[in-house]
Every structure is written in C-alpha cells, then in structure tokens.
Amino acid sequence: MHVRRSVCPYDCPDACGLLVEVEDGLAVSVKGDPEHPHSRGSLCPKMNRYQDTVHSPRRLTVPLLRTGPKGSGRFEPATWPEAIDRIASRWRSLIADHGAQAILPYSYAGTMGLVQRNAGHPFFHRLGASRLDRTICTPAKGAGLEAVLGQTPCPHPTELRNCDLVVLWGINAVATNVHGLLEVREARRRGGKVWLVETYRTPTAAEADSTFLVRPGSDGALALGLMHVLERDGLLDRAFLDAHTQGFPELSREILPDYPPERVEALTGLPAAEVEAMARAYGAAKAPCIVIGGGLSRYGNGAMTVRTIACLPALVGAYDRPGGGCFGHTSTGGAFALGEVTREDLLPGPVRTVNMNRLGHALGELSGPRVMSLYVYHSNPAVVAPDQNAVLAGLAREDLFTVVHERFLTDTARYADIVLPATSSLEHSDLYKAYGSYCIQRARPALPPVGESRSNWEVFGLLAQAMGFQEPFFRQSADDLIDHLLGLPSPWRQGIDEAALAEGRAVEVAPPPGPRFRTPSGKVELLNPREPHPLPRFLPPHAEGEAPPFSLMTAPSLFGLNSSFCERDELRARRKGMRIRMAPGDAEARGLRDGDAVAAFNALGEVAFALEVSPAVPSGVLVAEGVWWLEFAPGTRSVNALTSQRLTDRGGGSTFYDNKVDIRKLG
C-alpha cells in the first residue's frame, strides 16, 4: 500500500487536496490531505468515497460503436485505432462537404485541471471547428463584479474570520462551498453574525443567525433598498465614498430615491420593516462582508444583480476594513499562461461561436453551416443543458455524428455514435487552481488507467495524429505541457515553494502588488460609463409576469454536483429520489400531499417528481435540487426540461433559476 497526493477535480471552489491509498493499482481509500492549506484534511460527502466512482462497475473500459437507435444505449466494443479512424474519416468527409465549422465541441468543467479541461481547445482551433462559448455557470457574476471592482483581487478566504457580519447572499455554502463555510463558522465563533439571503430555506440557513427570503430574481431590489435606507439614515462612510468611489452623487440622485422600503417590499416580498432593520445592522457593522453566490446570477438580470450588491459595501466603507467588502471568487488565472494550453494562435481565421446554453437551438435550428458533428467531453448536456427537450431532439438527429468521451454511459453517451472511455482524475496528470482559495497543485497519476480509458489530452493527441496535424505541440505529453507552464515565470508564483509544488503538494499563490482598486478609474465604480446602464438599477428577471404560478429553483444538491455522482448508489440514496418541494399552504390549496406523484410543467416540457411538502419553501416557489440521470428519474425527463435557453443580461450566462412552472397530480 502506498499513498499518493491528488486533487478533487470537480467544479467546486475548493479544489481540495486528496490522499489516495493505492494497493495493487487500485484506490482503496480517498481522504482529505491535512497539509492542504485551504481544505485542511476534510472533504465533502461526495468525495469521501471517490474510490467508488473511480472503480465503479459502471466505468466504461473500451471504445464503443453504436448498434441501436440513438438514445437506446446499445453499442458494441471496438478498438481504439478503429474508433479514432472512424472519427477522423467521418470528420474529413464532413469538412469536405460542409466545412470544419459544422463540427462543434462541447465541454465544460467535468474536470477542472487546466490541461485536461482545456485539452480540446488547441485541437478544435487547429481544425477550424465552431467555438463554444463556455458560459453555463456564472459569467454574469464575473461581469457584475467586474463592472464595479474591475480586476481587484478577491480577499483571502481566511479574512472572513475577521468579519463581524457575514452575509451569505444567494449561496448554499453547505452544498457548494464547505471550506469557505469553515471560515464563516470561525467568524461566528468569534462573535460575528451570519445572515443568509435566499429564495428558500436551504440547509445553509442552519449556519445563519438570520435568514431573509426574497422573491426569486429580486435580490438587486433589496440591495438598492438597503442603500436607500443607509443614505436616508446617515449611515454612509462619506470619507470612503469621497476618496474611493466614482458616481455616488449620481446614484444618490437618480436611482436610490426610487427604492424606499415599501417599494422594496413589493418587489422582493421582504417586509419593509425587515429591510429597515437589515440596513441599520449592516450600517452599524464594523467589517461586514457579503459572500456572493453563483445562484444570484442565473437570472435574466443576473449581472445587474451582482453588480448592485457589489456596490453596497462601498457605501459603508467596508472595502477599507480588514475582512470587509465582498467575496466573489478568487481569480488565480494569472498564475499560469493558459494561452499556452488553449493556443488561440492555431485558429485558421475567424470562426463562429455557439453559446453552450443554446445547444438545443444549435443542434436544431442553427444554419450556415448546420452542426453535423458534436464532440462531447467531460460534460453531459443531455441532462445538464437547459431546454432538455430541444437538446434531446437535436441529439436524436440521425444525420448528427456524435462522439462522447466519458467515464460512464451518461444520457449524452447513450446518443453517441462512438463512445470513448475516459480516465478519472486519479489516472492522469494535471495542474489545478482554485476559485475559492489561492491554492495551486500539480497532480500526477495515482493509478494506472481503468481498462483502456484515456485522458482528454491523450485522445486529442490521437485525433491530431489521425487528422494529419504536424505541430509538435500535439505530440507532447500532459506532463511535458505542465513542465512548460511551470517553467514560464508568473508574478503570482513569486516566492512559492517550487519543490513542494513539484512533489504534488498544494501551495498558495498571491495576487501581484497593485493599486487597491484595479479599475480604470482606480476607484470602486458605482457609476461605470462603459456599461449599457452606467448606474445600477433593478431589472426584472425574465420570468417576471409569466403566467405559470410557481418560480422553479433548480438548486444544488448536497450529494451530487450537477449530474456528477449519479453513478454512486449511496449518494443517490441520500438524495431520496427525484423530488420537488412545495410550501404546505400551496400544497393544501392544490389538494396535494407529501409523497404524491406530480408533474411540473411549462411551455417547454413536463417532468415527473415525487412531491415533498416542506416548510422550508415559501409560497409561490418550487424547489428541485440536483440533476438526475434519466435512468433514475421517475418519468422520461429531468429538471432541465423546464429550464429555458434564455441568457443573462451580460456574459451570455445560463438562467437556470429564472423559470416559471405549474404543477399537477399524476395518475
């Protein structure tokens, strides 16, 4: 038995350090690495038995060729040379008939390592394929923060300990940021207060002193109402506003008068007296910090909402206090020259870009040229992309040549013409950075590949060879590329322990020195003249005013991560089936009871659930946590048959929480 260091590869801010016990080439246990500066030895429930994912009997071990109808999941085994030859010859013929842009890659963050995650970029750039705008997560959050703070670095997560008020705004940290939550607990232990602002009582409410529930998509109105009261009651930090902000006189004159607490109550559902009390407590705090979640931004008004909330700390000077301000996400991108992986220079010229949130549209309606081939790697769009019915109709097209590189026979893989078995993170090399801390870490394979599985990097090397690409870049190994990246200097990595990094330990980088606020004006930009709306304001979400009566929250689960971890029996069991939660009063009004088989529906589709009547959910809201593979769904569709392809106001992001549905009893 020996122990290897590795990193959690999933799309989570923490990038936890792992210690993997290996015996006879198999992972026998996976534990947290106590030496990891951020995760400090603990893992979330999903990763505590990662060996059960890695050695799941569901793992794909050989390439597969389709033998049945698309979606049937009927395949026969093939060799790697046979599979690669088929892909290359079909692509050559498609390129001759339709041009390379008829080929569309599709990937997101099934694995977060820089090399494996981005391994397809140089290949598809060299091919001249359509580009994918990878915006399914929180680009609107980034756009909103940048509008106010530019490139100002996020505080170190340990600074949260120093806050006397932490506002968890739109973040179910128990599910999505468990190690950031340790810092929040420490702040509370030291006497600080914790608030949660949410659309329903998530499990994170148990971590908070006060929970404030607002109508979905109305958070920006609450932020404006708080600013209104802060100004009205003389709770502003005038010295900070004068010295470090741009545009407060305009904000004060043109916007804030429109958001008195009574109007904010009408917009958010939060009683005016609570808005007043929140503002007074926030204004009185010495070092308040708002932890801004991703959920806030998955609405048609998502970027404006985040931008508005990011203005709030400036009014009380919180950005100037240790621990105060707002915590969005750490951006350690500068630590490595990512362009050396993505290789934009290989593009043959301008190519079109397809937004990943509009895959259904791209497969069904896009022309010039029509998408004739889809290559999916470490993503499962058949269930995670919005508007599932449109996506599945596209995947079912007989003239669409689909290749899926995956660890499991996912719903997307079932529609593939060719399935390629993928390595897990324990079986390949990679280089990781985090977005909830400043840690970076190198991982080497802890195990040999399961079966004949191969990494993204290896498969794109094989495809490059088969397509006749001569560039030496495609012939190097993942470790060669990692060595190259680490050989390039970066001010972020100055002074780090290079030896520790080389031997696979996590080390912390730091933002290079610079001005306090890294915006064009050098100030917090309450007014940003480069934005379509120079001042923050409340924009209604897409679904406001739509007819179905219930707002649908497609929230994260504690025991899954999007569609990842559905392969694990014990984690599925802890999720207790595919349920939709409803307020007791709403259930009674509809004659529905706990445990009823119900269907939620709207103009896009209909999805079967088991009903859970829950006091955690306010009236007018329905909550469906997690994404389920169709084989485990009570009906034929999962929750994204109810979510739309509409995009956010900035950033081209997804709007998963901005949908209305109705509900009825089945049977």
Q: Which residues bind ligand SF4 (CB under 6 A)?
A: 8, 10, 12, 14-16, 39, 43-44, 46-47, 178
3-state class percentages of the chain: helix first, strand second, coil last, to nearest 5: 35, 20, 45
Q: 426-456 burial, b for 16+ CB within 10 Å, e for fewer?
A: bbbbbbbbbbbbbbbbbbebbbebbeebbbb
CB of 43 to ligand SF4, least distance (A): 4
Length of the chain (residues): 667
Question: What is the closest distance, in whole angstroms, from the C-beta atom of residue 432 to ligand SF4 in the complex?
Answer: 10
Nearer to ligand SF4, 181 or 600 (CB): 181
CB 548 within 8 A of CB 602: yes
Complex with ligand SF4: residue 150 or 556, whichever CB lies closer: 556
Min dist CB 44 to ligand SF4, Å, is 3
Strand 288-292 and strand 430-433: the pairing is unpaired
Cβ proximity to ligand SF4, 27 vs 304, nearer residue: 27
H/E element holding 312?
Answer: helix 302-315
**Closer by beta carbon to ligand SF4, 415 or else 435:** 435
The residue among 56 and 614 lying less far from ligand SF4, judged by its C-beta, is: 56
Shortest distance, position 132 Cβ to ligand SF4, whole Å: 24
Q: Is-contact 282 321, C-beta < 8 A?
A: no
Handedness of CA 2, 6, 12, 13 (dihedral sign): positive
Residue 30 Cβ vs ligand SF4, minimum distance, rounded to whole Å: 9
For ligand SF4, the closer CB: 327 or 474: 327
Handedness of CA 118, 119, 122, 125 (dihedral sign): negative
The least CB distance from residue 163 to ligand SF4, in Å, is 22
User: Shortest gap between Cβ of 173 and ligand SF4 (angstroms)?
Assistant: 10
Minimum CB distance to ligand SF4, residue 178 (Å): 5
Give 22's strand partners: 2, 27
Nearer Cβ to ligand SF4 (14/544)? 14
Q: How far is CA 449 from the centre of its chain?
A: 27
- Beta-carbon contacts of residue 119 (< 8 Å; ≥ 6 apart): 341, 377, 455, 456, 457, 459, 460, 478
Both tokens of residue 150?
């530019």
Nearer to ligand SF4, 149 or 555 (CB): 555
Q: How many CA atoms are closer than 13 Å to the CA of 393, on its beta-carbon side? A: 14
Query: Which residue type is seen at 11?
Result: D
The residue (of 246 and 423) whose beta carbon lies closer to ligand SF4 is 423
- The whole-angstrom separation of Cα 13 and Cα 436 is 4
Minimum CB–partner distance for residue 47 and ligand SF4 (Å)? 4
Minimum separation from the CB atom of position 48 to ligand SF4 (A): 8
Residue 10 vs 282, nearer CB to ligand SF4: 10
Neighbours of 503 (CB within 10 A): 11
For residues 426 and 6, is the Cβ–Cβ distance under 8 A?
yes
